[in-house]
Amino acid sequence: MKITSHETTTLRLPEDDPLANMPEQAGRTRPVVILRLRTDSGIEGIGVTFYGGRMTGSLHTAVDELATLTVGEDPLRIENIIAKLRAGTGDSCGPGGIFTLALSAIDVALWDIKGKALDQPLWKLLGGHRDRVATYASGSLRRGLTDDQAQRAARILVQKGFTEMKTQMALPGNPTPAEELRRVRVVREAIGPDVKLMCDINQRWRPEQAIDIGSRAQDVGLFWLEDVTAADDYPGLARVTAALNTPIAGGEYLWGIVPFRHMIEARSVDIIMIDICRVGGITQWMKVAAMAEAFNLPVVSHVMPEILLHMVAACPNGLTVEYMPWMLALYEETPAIDNGMLVLPEKPGLGLTFDEKAIAAFKA
């Protein structure tokens, strides 16, 4: 089997909130690039990447240019193709930026082809540790909401059967610690004591702020505090992790696999979060997961649950899947949730098919 052609398209997806209908900003969109990688056997693999922002045109071009280099290659030799792509760019762009985002889309499409060629769902090819995996609602309890909106959204998520969900602190403006704590407590009041509640800071605190506010929030019973300070401040993160009983999660902002080694060696976090686009795709995601397992650390996903449930379910240290619904509208069907658990699909590869009507509607 050989790769014969590819097709890339830029889309603008609504950044709405289908889970609780409580968007932080109505009408906001997010640009993404989708890829179709075709073979001479009639199998087509699909991939998605984003984070290009105003450079999404450059990301589209990068996916095109790298995909061209795969034509004529055996799609089952994924590491060989990755090496060719790196060599084709002179590896001058390093582990981060546009190259890695483009590589991710290609890598995902290659694994989709491999699963379809072998007639196996991706989670089984990667290890198949479990056929259901925990998931948490994300994107409905963002910091731009009022307390009342956040409480209403939280109750809706509970009514929909979610047993895990994520909110945010580091509120707009320059809030006092008491104001920060008010938000997370009103959410806890709305959902009760038994729902697992995560809280994302998005790198907006200094280490001493994280220790101060995090220590005051310990009675809230957070499942984790996420990205409490600058992602590459490994000693600062380690200070916070050592000071608090609440587990600290981080890693979504790291590029490639090497920074995860530094994060883990510094004992910076308790829970490793891996972003599929920034790490470079499924191949690199699983390498980080194995690295974390060697240090007795759990791993969690970041966005794109329809793809990442495969990896979290495949590895023994997979903890939970972020159910961020930004991309779900791209597909004809996405994995079901049953009693707060994502059910792994039995269809081969990713088990996903682009919804052509949605693609046409979102085309940039």
User: In a 3-state reduction of DSSP, which class is residue 226?
Assistant: strand
Q: For the chain, percent helix, then strand, then coil, each to nearest 5?
A: 40, 20, 35
Output the pLDDT for position 278.
Answer: 97
Output the pLDDT for position 95.
Answer: 67
Closest CA to 140 of 176, 103, 90, 190: 190
Instruction: Render pLDDT for 281-295 as a digit per residue (tens, 0 to 9).
Output: 999 999 999 999 999
Output the pLDDT for position 89.
Answer: 79
Output the pLDDT for position 174.
Answer: 87
Instruction: Render pLDDT for 169-217 as a digit per residue (tens, 0 to 9).
Output: 999 998 999 999 999 999 999 999 999 999 999 999 999 999 999 999 9
Output the pLDDT for position 43.
Answer: 98
Number of other residues whose CB lies within 10 A of the CB of residue 131: 15
- Which tokens hold the place of 313? 């379910």
Residue labelled with tokens 């056997």: 41
Instruction: Render pLDDT for 17-34 as a digit per residue (tens, 0 to 9).
Output: 899 988 887 888 999 999
Read off the pTM: 0.96
Output the pLDDT for position 91.
Answer: 58
Output the pLDDT for position 22.
Answer: 86
Alpha helices in the chain (DSSP H): 56-70, 78-88, 98-118, 122-125, 147-159, 177-191, 207-216, 234-243, 258-265, 276-279, 282-294, 305-314, 356-362
Output the pLDDT for position 32.
Answer: 98
The rounded distance, in Å, linking the Cα atoms of 290 and 296 is 10
The rounded distance, in Å, linking the Cα atoms of 12 and 31 is 4
Output the pLDDT for position 92.
Answer: 57
- Which tokens hold the place of 120? 């196996």
Please list the pLDDT of the chain residue by residue as tens digits (364 residues). Answer: 999 999 999 999 998 889 998 888 788 899 999 999 999 999 999 999 999 999 999 999 999 999 999 999 999 999 999 999 998 876 556 667 899 999 999 999 999 999 999 999 999 999 999 999 999 999 999 999 999 999 999 999 999 999 999 999 999 998 999 999 999 999 999 999 999 999 999 999 999 999 999 999 999 999 999 999 999 999 999 999 999 999 999 999 999 999 999 999 999 999 999 999 999 999 999 999 999 999 999 999 999 999 999 999 999 999 999 999 999 999 999 999 999 999 999 999 999 999 999 999 999 9
